[in-house]
Structure 1
Amino acid sequence: MPLTLELIRADVADCLGEDPADIPLDENLVDHGLDSVRIMALLERWRRDHGVTADFADLAEQPAIEAWAPLLGAA
């Protein structure tokens, strides 16, 4: 199953213990509590479950779901 914006949002929300509706698509996720350790955990999950090939530096450079979507191959 390919990643979608909503699946990325749900995974980020799960990682932060938040409701997906509270996670913005276009805002810096660091401002919402996402740190480098959590970004790595998400990236490893997406690599394992969805075959993502993006690297940590790509995600850390622009930590927003809308910026991540093309890097993660989200539909």
Structure 2
Amino acid sequence: MLTRDRMRTDIAAMIHEAPEDIGGDDNLIDLGLDSMRAMNLLVQWNEAGLGLDFSEFAERLTLNAWWAIIDRSQSRA
């Protein structure tokens, strides 16, 4: 199961920032997350058993929005 803290840590590692520097409503693209890095994160999270669709994540690029998608996905499992 993916936690919000783990998700924030994974994103931070991908963009070489401290997790606490990523605010819930910060635009992840503005922080340096490009589409290839975002896709790599989704692949990593999908390997943990989540059935995530990149198109959902591309619509809203914030930690809060991504967590809402993941939380819904995990609730269905």
Structure 1 runs of 4+ aligned residues shifted over 2 Å read: none
| Partner Cα distance (1:12, 1:19) in 2 | 9
Q: How many residues align?
A: 73
For 1:27 and 1:18, the matched residues in 2 are separated by 13
Q: Provide the C-alpha distance between the structure 2 equivalents of 1:5 and 1:40, rounded to a whole number of angstroms.
A: 18
Which residue, 43, 60, 63 being the options, matches 2:61? 63
C-alpha separation between the residues in 1 aligned to 2:15 and 2:26? 15
Question: TM-score, with normalisation over the residues of structure 2?
Answer: 0.85
User: Are the equivalent residues in 2 in contact too, given 1:25–1:66 (CA < 8 A)?
Assistant: yes
TM-score by length of 1: 0.88
* CA displacement at 1:23 relative to structure 2: 1.1
Larger radius of gyration: 2
Superposition map of 1:18-57 within 5 A: 18-49=17-48, 51-57=49-55
The answer for unaligned runs of 5 or more in structure 1 is none
Q: After superposing the two structures, state which structure 1 stretch, 52-61 or 38-47, moved more.
A: 52-61
What fraction of aligned residue pairs are identical, expressed as a percent? 40
Note the C-alpha offset of 1:16. 0.6
Q: Which secondary structure state, in structure 2, belongs to the residue aligned with residue 31 of structure 1?
A: coil
Q: For residue 4 of structure 1, what is the aligned residue in structure 2?
A: 3
Q: Cα distance, 1:27 vs. partner?
A: 1.4
